[in-house]
Structures are given as structure tokens and as C-alpha cells.
Amino acid sequence: MTDDKLSDLVGCLELKPLETGSYLGRSQRLAYRRVYGGQLLAQFVRAASLAAGGRALKSLHTQFLREGSTGEPVRYETDVLRSGRTFSAVRLTAWQELGIVAVADACLHEWEEGPDRQSVEAVTELPGPEHTVDLALLPWESRATGDLDTGDSGPPVHELWSRIPDAGESLAAPMVAYTSDLTLIGTALRPVHGMTQEDSGRAFTSAVTSHTLWFHRRITGGDWLLLRQHSPLAAHGRCFGRGDVLNRDGVLLASYAQEALLRFA
């Protein structure tokens, strides 16, 4: 983990209020061909919470409409469609100079007490430090026993352990959203021998078209989280994947699903 990259991401999540319902977020300083979709997801989470008076995000459905320009700030316009006693609904639009980059619908909810159950497979043990993986877009430590970038074929599943830093509860959910966008396309590519995410732009074209997140429980940073992923389908120039976020005790904290363009040359 580099402090500079983490500080850069945290700075992006400190949205600047403009006129009522509008916020400005700067873009990350990354050597990347476009605005990373995870940045937009994380900023959508922050903008929705700010617009809804600090309520916790329950779900976020995002449609990516065009590539964002690196280095250019993003303006977020919010429209609170409904604000009841415990639920809020917010529509969000992300703008850059070229026009709308992405749109999202968010639902937020006051945490309530009630029945608590789950049905998920037990988590695996946290891999040792020898399984540390260098993911350039993640400014914190991650580990995995399987490598998405070797080109070896296998089933379209992947487990990534990631230790999101303790930067305050308000930033934990945005950081999970940021992380969830990173490796689902690579997971979908696993059955294709000799092909990895690194071949994007040469052997194939890829771009996330939609991404949905559900937050089931409170998330705090500072401990290891498991992102357990599966891609059940790749067809007609698209791929689909989904994942769960669990803590080391196996508690299901969040889930996500993503569709992306996957067009081979």
C-alpha cells in the first residue's frame, strides 16, 4: 500500500458541495486510460449519502454511459425522489465536460433491529503474506491464492482478500464499492486459456456497462474482507459476474453484480 495513492483516493471521496444537491469530486491521479469505474461508484455512494442526510446506502444501481476523462473532475447532481421515516431514494447523474458519464439510482435506509440470518458458504482461511498480489488500482494490501493474470484456464471463480484501511465509517462503503469493480471481468476470462485482463485493448475490448451493489450490514475498515466472485455467463459480446463481501468471521456484509462489454478481436 502506498500512502500517496491512498491519500489520493480519500481526497477523491471528499466531495465539495456546490449549489443544493450538487457535488464536485476530483478524479484520481492514475496512469489509466479512462476514469476508473470504481472511482465513480465510490463517489456515487458518497454523493447519495450526503444528499440523504447521512443515511446508510442500501443499494446502488449504476449505468456507465461513456468513458470518463482522466484528470477531469466529476460533477454529481442528485435528486431526492423520496425521503420517508427510514428510507430515502436518490437519483444521481455524473457529468464531465463531454456530457453525462454515468447515472445511478440509490436507496438508503436507517439501520433497524430485526431478525438476522444468512446462508452462505464458510470463508476460507486468510492466505499468508506470500500470497500478496499487486493490484495497481488498490492502494492497500490484497491477497489471493489464484492469479487472474497468468493466462492459465480454470473455472470462472476468484477469491480476493483485501484489507480496506480504517478511514472512518463514512468511507468504508465507498471503498468497498471501489474494490468491487476491479476483477469481475478477469474472473469471466478465466476459462479462456492464455487470456487475462492485461490483454484488454489488444485481444479484446472490455468496458463495464452496469454495476449494482447491495449493502446488507454496517461495514468498517481496518480488517480483512473476502470478495468471493463468480461469473456464470459470457455470451453475445457481454459477460456477467457477481460477488459477495464477507468478513473473516464469515458475516455477509455486501453483494454486487456487474455486466460488461467483452468483445474479442
Helix (H) or strand (E) holding 226: strand 224-235
Cβ–Cβ under 8 Å, residues 43 and 51: no
Helix, strand, coil abundance in the chain, percent, nearest 5:
20, 40, 40
User: pLDDT tens digit string along 237-262?
Assistant: 999 999 999 999 999 999 999 999 99
Residue ranges, the chain, pLDDT below 50: 1
Q: What is the pLDDT of residue 202?
A: 82
Amino acid at 164: I
Q: What is the pLDDT of residue 152?
A: 74
pTM for the full model? 0.94
Give the total residue count for the chain.
265
HSE at residue 51, side-chain half, CA atoms within 13 A, is 33
Q: CA 76, CA 100: separation in Å to the nearest integer?
A: 10
Q: What is the pLDDT of residue 195?
A: 82
Cβ–Cβ under 8 Å, residues 95 and 77: yes
User: Which overall architecture, per CATH, does domain 1-112 show?
Assistant: Roll (3.10)
Q: What is the pLDDT of residue 200?
A: 79
The per-residue b/e assignment along 157-191, b for 16 or more CB within 10 angstroms, e otherwise, is ebbbbbbbbebeeebbbbbbbbbbbbbbbbbbbbe
Residue range(s) in the chain whose domain bears CATH number 3.10.129.10: 1-112, 126-265
Q: CA 98, CA 211: separation in Å to the nearest integer?
A: 22
Yes or no: domain 126-265 corresponds to CATH 1.10.10.1100: no
Which residues is 24 bridged to in the sheet?
16, 75
